[in-house]
């Protein structure tokens, strides 16, 4: 057997840093292997990062070619931005090719280290070893694997094209970095030019874009030359070097390979461990700090309970970048102009306190962030509004009487709007999710599922109800914990826990609102005594039991994810909020709020991400089937006499659709 003590997947920045850190810890008889199919490619990037002057110096200070104490961010409308000091920080530059040459010479001069130019195809983890299969069919065994490889599509890409130029006259300020100059056409994306001086006449000017699509080399060059001519009247210069690249930026990076709960042989590093800052793309110092920490420090710092709030901030910023990136050209200049540099760089390093973050955000244009809060976290937004609004109504009796006639409007406006927009739409493109299946085969199997469920209901209503609950439980849990299922080696345990979570969520709403549920269930199962199985109090107790089960299941699943990702997650917090919402709201509005603004929204997000569709394209594709379903639903309103009948048959229709839809989504997710 070809056995190594350590195998590192990827010989990029994080892989080389991990190899370097192992040089001092592995014994002389241990072997370390790096696997990378592009290991000989010379890095044509410049590594730049800010560092607190009081921090421990990083081990590659000898490679730092330039340091800077001032920076500038220029808004699109400015003649020239304000020059600011880095304060407690220093900004440093390391040449990418110099870094890679140094690291290769240092690491592979050591007889314990080897490199293999192949791709990793498959990994199998056991108690003793990790079995690795490469692209050539070679089998390698490792006692420990460090994985920097990722799967899935990024949320946004930071791509750049730059010239290292030499000018005929003095052009650069040697001590000043132009971090962002927005004085060019934004085209609804985040576009700016970055200036990094090496001398008064030599420096890097780099055209940078945050978007989901890459430009051609000719387009990059044309835009950069136009900027230099129009903004700086610079036409005559010599191009010494060309630098270009792309950094995938993901809010929830998924490691390609990860360790199961019972083992500890695969650990994510680099981008697979979230070491690329999702909203900025900076990674050099984050990777440096990762490899300087010992295990106890990493565990202590990685499990800060509220650290996930920075992911919320990144989510809002990336949402703005994707919806109208040009707004960033207004936000970032204000952000840096209205705050101390030291606070901002600590914020970008995710080291600020919560009250400092409030002071930062309160100075920014709120509407863009509130919009993204509603788009990215609609369930929490809608649930909080409805619960708070109705709580205030209950406190104010006069106001409550004034809106008494609009009782249904109090709870139903958002859920019903959500049903006709998001809820129905999330299944309206099922026919487009598996293009390899013929339309005839798709519609045949889809309608077979619908008809089978309705036939089962005609034969045995109670059995059809049980099938509906079980399929819904599997579908809800699968959609909620898709990443955990994808990245965990112990998929069986995660699948069981996700099913338990889905079952608990499916049962909570009717149990918390048993009086309302009884009349609906009696019609659905065609048995007027069905609701007398237990009392309202007993149902509430069962509801709280399932709420506890849901929270515990979510917490355990989060531990599987933390094991695979190497960083902390909010865990059960969102499930606690969900349980409270289902308890605080009436039956149907509460369930619809969950179904539309949690489940359906997340499904649409996953579909759009994997299909690479814009919101507009999704709406256009979903519109025909959404309209048909909406008119069918409106027909129910006119046909039946009572709300109990309407909701009973709505759930019957939902159950029939869920049978077919859930199997379509399984094929789409490939799980």
C-beta separation of 66 from 176 below 8 A = no
Q: What is the pLDDT of residue 196?
A: 96
| pTM, rounded to two decimals | 0.84
pLDDT tens string 557-587: 988 887 766 666 777 889 999 999 999 999 9
Q: What pLDDT, on a 0 to 100 scale, did the predictor assign at position 183?
A: 95
Residue 239 pLDDT exceeds 90: yes
Tell me the three state secondary structure of residue 142: strand
Report the distance separating Cα 591 and Cα 508, nearest Å.
Answer: 9
Evaluate if residue 297 carries a pLDDT over 50.
no
Per-residue pLDDT of 137-171, as tens digits, reads 999 999 999 999 988 788 899 999 999 999 999 99
Most confident range (mean pLDDT) of 145-159, 230-244, 487-501 is 230-244
Q: What is the pLDDT of residues 326-376, one digit of tens each?
A: 999 999 999 999 999 999 999 998 899 999 999 999 888 888 998 999 889
Share of the chain above pLDDT 90, in %: 52
- Residue 489 clears pLDDT 80, i.e. is over it: no
Please calculate the CA angle 271-91-103 and round it to the nearest 5 degrees: 50
What is the reported pLDDT for 564? 67
Strands in 39-155 per DSSP E: 46-52, 64-68, 70-74, 83-85, 89-95, 113-116, 120-125, 130-134, 139-147, 150-151
* pLDDT at residue 145, as a whole number: 93
**pLDDT per residue as tens digits for the range 65-117:** 999 999 999 998 888 888 999 999 999 999 888 999 999 999 999 999 999 99
Tokens of 488: 């965990």
* pLDDT exceeds 70 at position 49: yes
* DSSP designation for 263: -
Q: Is the pLDDT of residue 402 over 70?
A: no
DSSP structure class, residue 301: H
pLDDT of residue 284: 73
Q: What is the pLDDT of residues 624-659, one digit of tens each?
A: 888 888 887 777 667 776 666 777 777 888 888 898
Using the predicted structure, report yes or no on whether residue 622 has a pLDDT greater than 80.
yes
Question: Would you tell me how many other CB atoms lie within 10 Å of the CB of residue 153?
Answer: 13
pLDDT band at 397 (very low <50, low <70, confident <90, very high): low
Residues 407-466: tens digit of each pLDDT: 556 677 888 888 888 988 899 999 899 888 888 999 999 999 999 999 999 999 999 999
- The mean pLDDT of 293-300, rounded to a whole number, is 43
The pLDDT value recorded for residue 135 is: 93
Whether the CB-CB separation of 483 and 254 falls below 8 Å is answered with: yes
Residue holding tokens 């539309």? 596
Residues 6+ apart with CB under 8 A from 598: 378, 379, 578
**Pick from 30, 24, 35: nearest CA to 117:** 35
Q: Provide the pLDDT for residue 289.
A: 64
Q: How confident is the model at residue 39 (pLDDT cuts 50, 70, 90)?
A: low
Asked whether the beta carbons of 462 and 485 are under 8 A apart, the reply is no
Q: Write out the DSSP string of 158-226.
A: EEEEEEEEEESS----TTEEEEEE--S--TTSEEEEEEEESSSSEEEEEEEEEESSPPPHHHHHHHHHH
Q: All domains of the chain, ordered by start, with CATH? A: 3-69+86-149+253-292 (3.50.50.60), 156-249 (3.30.9.10), 309-373 (no CATH), 378-669 (no CATH)
Select the more confidently predicted residue: 55 or 382: 382
């Amino acid at each position: 057997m070809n056995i190594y003590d350590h195998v590192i997947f990827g010989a990029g920045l994080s892989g080389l840093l991990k190899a370097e850190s192992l040089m001092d810890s592995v014994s002389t008889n241990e072997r370390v292997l790096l696997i990378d199919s592009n290991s000989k490619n010379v890095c044509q990037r410049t590594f730049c990062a800010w560092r607190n002057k009081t921090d421990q110096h990083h081990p590659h200070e000898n490679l730092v070619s330039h340091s800077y104490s001032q920076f500038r961010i220029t808004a699109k409308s400015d003649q020239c931005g304000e020059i600011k000091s880095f304060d407690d920080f220093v900004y440093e530059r390391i040449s990418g090719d110099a870094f890679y040459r140094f690291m290769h010479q240092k690491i592979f001069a050591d007889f314990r280290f080897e490199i293999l130019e192949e791709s990793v195809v498959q990994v199998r983890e056991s108690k003793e070893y990790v079995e690795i299969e490469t692209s050539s069919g070679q089998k390698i065994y490792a006692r420990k694997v460090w994985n920097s490889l990722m799967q899935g599509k990024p949320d946004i890409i930071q791509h750049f094209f730059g010239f290292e130029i030499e000018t005929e006259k003095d052009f650069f300020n040697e001590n000043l970095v132009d971090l962002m100059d927005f004085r060019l056409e934004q085209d609804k994306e985040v576009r700016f030019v970055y200036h990094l001086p090496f001398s008064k006449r030599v420096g890097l000017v780099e055209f940078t874009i945050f978007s989901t699509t890459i430009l051609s080399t000719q387009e990059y060059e044309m835009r950069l030359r136009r900027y230099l001519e129009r903004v700086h009247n610079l036409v005559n210069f010599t191009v010494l070097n060309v630098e270009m690249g792309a950094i995938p930026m993901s809010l929830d990076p998924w490691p390609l390979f990860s360790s199961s709960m019972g083992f500890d042989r695969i650990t994510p590093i680099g981008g697979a461990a979230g070491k690329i800052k999702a909203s900025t793309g900076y990674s050099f110092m984050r990777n440096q700090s990762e490899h300087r920490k010992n295990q106890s420090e990493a565990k202590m710092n990685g499990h800060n309970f509220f650290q996930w709030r920075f992911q919320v901030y990144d989510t809002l910023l990336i949402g703005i970048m994707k919806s109208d990136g040009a707004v960033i050209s207004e936000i970032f200049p204000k952000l840096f102009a209205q705050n101390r540099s030291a606070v901002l760089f600590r914020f970008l390093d995710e080291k600020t306190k919560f009250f400092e973050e409030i002071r930062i955000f309160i100075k920014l244009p709120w509407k863009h962030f509130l919009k993204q809060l509603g788009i990215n976290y609609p369930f929490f937004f809608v649930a909080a509004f409805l619960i708070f609004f109705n709580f205030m109504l209950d406190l104010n009796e006069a106001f409550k009487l004034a809106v008494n006639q609009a009782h249904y409007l109090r709870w139903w406006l958002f859920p019903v709007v959500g049903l006709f927009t998001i809820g129905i739409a999330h299944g309206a493109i099922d026919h487009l999710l598996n293009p390899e299946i013929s339309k005839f085969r798709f519609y045949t199997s889809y309608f077979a599922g619908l008809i089978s469920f309705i036939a089962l209901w005609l034969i045995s209503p109670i059995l059809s109800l049980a099938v509906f609950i079980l399929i819904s439980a599997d579908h809800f849990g699968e959609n909620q914990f898709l990443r955990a299922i994808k990245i965990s080696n112990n998929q069986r345990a995660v699948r069981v826990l996700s099913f338990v979570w889905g079952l608990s969520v499916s049962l909570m709403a009717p149990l918390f609102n048993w009086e309302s549920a009884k009349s609906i269930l009696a019609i659905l199962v065609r048995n007027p005594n069905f609701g007398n199985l237990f009392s309202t109090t007993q149902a509430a107790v069962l509801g709280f039991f399932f709420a506890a089960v849901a929270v515990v299941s979510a917490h355990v699943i989060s531990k599987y994810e933390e094991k695979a990702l190497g960083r902390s997650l909010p865990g059960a917090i969102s499930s606690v909020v969900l349980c409270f919402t289902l308890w605080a709201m009436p039956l149907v509005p509460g369930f619809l709020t969950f179904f539309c603004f949690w489940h359906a929204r997340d499904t649409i997000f996953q579909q759009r991400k994997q299909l690479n569709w814009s919101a507009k394209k999704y709406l256009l594709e979903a519109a025909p089937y959404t309209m048909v379903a909406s008119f069918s639903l409106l027909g129910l309103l006119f046909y039946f006499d009572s709300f109990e009948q309407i909701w009973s048959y709505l759930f019957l229709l939902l159950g029939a659709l869920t049978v077919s839809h859930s199997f379509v989504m399984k094929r789409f997710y490939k799980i």
